């Protein structure tokens, strides 16, 4: 193998992606060629430099943003699907074949009557179900929740989006303590004494408002958030036009932590509160720990700068420079983490879900489920018959025609 050929394969060799034969050939060449060894070494440095790039923690609001957008989309989608699967009676038109043969006509009429009854009754049950039960969703999707109300409580409040190193030792307070904490009460920990507590709070509020009130109430909620110097991170409004127009609103917002309780109180009176959670996480220890590590690293940096000033050779200089780069990168990373904590504790997370009364999908009772299954089976049967009807009609017609022709050969 020539050096040029080997050069083409070195990267794959480094990644261990060559077939055994090629691998062996490259290996043999490397035994004897200094040049290719040097290139391989350089490639290896590129690879390991890239491998050493740190995994960065996303900003903590990312998770809420994603879930807000997804929940909004799901709510809107559920509405659309419900509309699409509603039968549209006006569009079903049946044309009876204009054959005049008595026997066939009776069969066809019976079939048609049967179909009409099926369809009318299924429309009837549907109407009945709509009025007296939870609205029907499309088949097989009865348990699809509408937006956030279906979210499982704890999950949304999971702390996994916290910066790394936080989740492990995090002291998580139970939801009820979400009320107030008075500063002094917590100043018992020796390591963190004299430091302002860093708490990350997440609140979730679900409101029901009267029909048609979502638009207005959501405006007011946004206004309240802003009046406390908070801001809306994402919001979505889903409107479904149909037999009954229903609107849902979802937003994730950040509110200065000292105003969170007030903001919640104000928003709560805009409608009927069906759910209110506040979760709290104490990250003071992590914060203090980060601060100490930053301080230590900055001292290290100063020392390195001194040494650098006294360096005599390029080699020395490079060594110090490399070390300095490493220390500075670490400082940046630590400061980044500290900023994240700082921001997260200064601005609480607040998510608000506003739905119209009655549009929230309650889970049906036992009899409700049976009724629903009955209705769905009935609709399936009607749908099946409607689908096979044309073929059945043709078959029956064909059968009678053939029989007629066979019986009266002379007649044609």
Q: Which residues bind Zn ion (CB under 5 A)?
A: 3, 33, 35-36
**Which entry of Zn ion, another protein, none binds 20, CB below 5 to 8 A by partner kind?**
none
* Residue closer to another protein, measured from CB, 32 or 51: 51
50, two tokens: 């890239």
From 253, 246, 236, select the one nearest 64 (Cα to Cα): 253
Sole binder of another protein in the list 58, 89, 212, 242 (CB under 8 A): 58
Q: Does 316 bind another protein (CB under 8 A)?
A: no
| Number of residues lying near another protein (CB under 8 A) | 65
Give min distance, CB of 333 to Zn ion, in A: 40
Q: Site mask, another protein, residues 269-308, x = CB under 8 A?
A: ---------------------------------------x
DSSP string, 128-189: HHHHHSSPP-STT-TT---SGGGS-HHHHT--TTSPTTHHHH-EEEPGGGGS---GGGGTT-
Among 24, 27, 45, 405, binds another protein (CB under 8 A): 45
Instruction: Characterize 35-64 residue by residue with b for buried, 16 or more Cβ atoms within 10 angstroms of its Cβ, and e for exposed.
Output: ebeebbeebeeeeeeeeeeeeebeebbebb
Q: Which is nearer to another protein, 4 or 95 (CB)?
A: 4
Q: DSSP letters of 38-92? A: HHHHHHHHHHHHHHTSPPPPPPTHHHHHHHHHHHHHHHHHHHHHHHHHS--GGG-
Binding of residue 156 to another protein (CB under 8 A): yes
Is residue 158 involved in binding another protein (CB under 8 A)? yes
The interface region with another protein, picked from 96-104, 260-268, 293-301, 318-326 by CB under 8 A, is: 318-326
- The burial of 121, by beta-carbon neighbours within 10 Å (0-12 exposed, 13-18 middle, 19 or more buried), is given as middle
Element (H, E) at 243: none
Out of 91, 160, 174, 367, which residue is the one contacting another protein (CB under 8 A)?
160
Name which of 70 and 405 has its Cβ closer to another protein.
Answer: 70
CA atoms within 13 A on the CB side of 298: 9
Cβ 207 to another protein shortest distance, Å: 19
From 1, 22, 30, 66, residue interacting with another protein (rule: CB under 8 A) = 66
Q: Does 161 bind another protein (CB under 8 A)?
A: yes
| 3-class DSSP assignment, residue 352 | strand
* Residue among 90 and 140 whose Cβ is closer to another protein: 140
Q: How many Cα atoms sit within 13 Å of 385 on the Cβ side?
A: 15
* Angle made by CA atoms 381, 383, 386, in degrees to the nearest 5: 110
Residue 315 CB, nearest approach to another protein (Å)? 8
The rounded radius of gyration (Å) of the Cα atoms in the chain is 35
Which one of 1, 22, 30, 39 is in contact with another protein (CB under 8 A)? 39
For another protein, what does the binding mask look like between residues 110 and 149, x meaning CB under 8 A? ------------------------------xx-xxx----
**Which one of Zn ion, another protein, none is in contact with 118 (Cβ closer than 5 to 8 A by kind)?**
none
Residues 6+ apart with CB under 8 A from 224: 263, 266, 267
Q: Is 173 in the site for another protein (CB under 8 A)?
A: no
Does the protein bind another protein through residue 41 (CB under 8 A)? yes
Nearer to another protein, 49 or 406 (CB): 49
Exposed (0-12), middle (13-18) or buried (19+): which is 274, by Cβ within 10 Å?
A: middle
Structure tokens at 172: 């998580």
Minimum gap (Å) between residue 151 Cβ and another protein: 6
Asked if 89 and 119 count as a contact pair (C-beta separation under 8 A), the reply is: yes
- Give the whole-angstrom CA distance, residue 351 versus residue 249: 11
Check residue 321 for interaction with another protein (CB under 8 A).
yes
56 contact choice in Zn ion, another protein, none (CB below 5 to 8 Å, kind-dependent):
another protein
**Partners of 250 in the beta sheet?**
236, 353
Q: Which chain residues interact with another protein by CB under 8 A?
A: 3-4, 7-8, 10-12, 15, 17, 35, 38-39, 41-43, 45-47, 49-51, 53-59, 62-63, 65-67, 69-71, 73-74, 77-78, 140-141, 143-145, 150-152, 155-156, 158, 160-161, 308, 314, 317-319, 321-322, 324-326, 328-329
């Amino acid at each position: 193998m020539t050096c040029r050929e080997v050069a083409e394969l070195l990267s794959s060799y480094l990644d261990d992606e060559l077939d055994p034969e090629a691998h062996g050939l490259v290996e043999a060449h490397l035994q004897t060629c200094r040049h290719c060894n040097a290139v391989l070494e350089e490639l290896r440095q590129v690879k390991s430099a890239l491998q050493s790039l740190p995994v960065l923690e996303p900003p903590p609001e990312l998770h809420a943003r994603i879930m807000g957008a997804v929940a909004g989309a799901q709510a809107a989608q559920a509405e659309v699907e419900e509309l699409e699967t509603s039968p549209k009676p006006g569009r079903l038109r049946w044309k009876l074949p204009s054959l005049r043969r008595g026997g066939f006509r009776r069969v066809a009429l019976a079939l048609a009557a049967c179909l009409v009854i099926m369809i009318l009754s299924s429309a009837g049950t549907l109407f009945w179900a709509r009025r007296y039960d939870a609205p029907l969703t499309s088949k097989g999707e009865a348990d699809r929740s509408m937006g956030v109300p279906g979210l499982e409580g704890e999950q949304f409040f999971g702390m996994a989006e916290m910066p790394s190193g936080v989740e492990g030792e995090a002291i998580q307070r139970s939801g009820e303590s979400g009320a107030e904490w008075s500063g002094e009460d917590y100043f018992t920990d020796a390591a963190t004494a004299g430091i302002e507590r860093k708490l990350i709070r997440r609140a979730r509020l679900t409101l029901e408002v009267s029909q048609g009130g979502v638009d207005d109430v959501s405006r007011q909620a946004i206004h309240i958030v802003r009046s406390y110097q908070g801001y809306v991170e994402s919001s979505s409004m889903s409107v479904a036009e149909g037999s009954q127009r229903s609107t849902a609103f979802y937003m994730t917002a950040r509110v200065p932590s000292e105003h969170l309780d007030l903001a919640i109180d104000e928003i709560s009176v805009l409608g009927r509160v069906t759910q209110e959670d506040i979760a709290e996480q104490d990250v003071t220890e992590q914060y203090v720990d980060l601060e100490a590590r930053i301080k230590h690293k900055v001292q290290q940096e100063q020392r390195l700068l001194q040494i650098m000033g006294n360096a005599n050779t390029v080699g020395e200089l490079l060594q110090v420079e490399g070390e300095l780069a490493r220390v500075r990168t670490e400082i940046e990373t630590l400061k980044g983490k500290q900023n994240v904590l700082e921001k997260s504790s200064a601005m609480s997370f607040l998510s608000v879900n506003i739905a119209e009364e009655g549009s929230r999908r309650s889970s049906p009772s036992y009899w409700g489920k049976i009724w629903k299954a009955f209705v769905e089976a009935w609709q399936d049967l009607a749908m099946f018959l409607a689908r096979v009807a044309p073929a059945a009609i043709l078959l029956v017609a064909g059968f009678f025609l053939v029989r007629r022709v066979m019986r009266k050969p002379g007649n044609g």
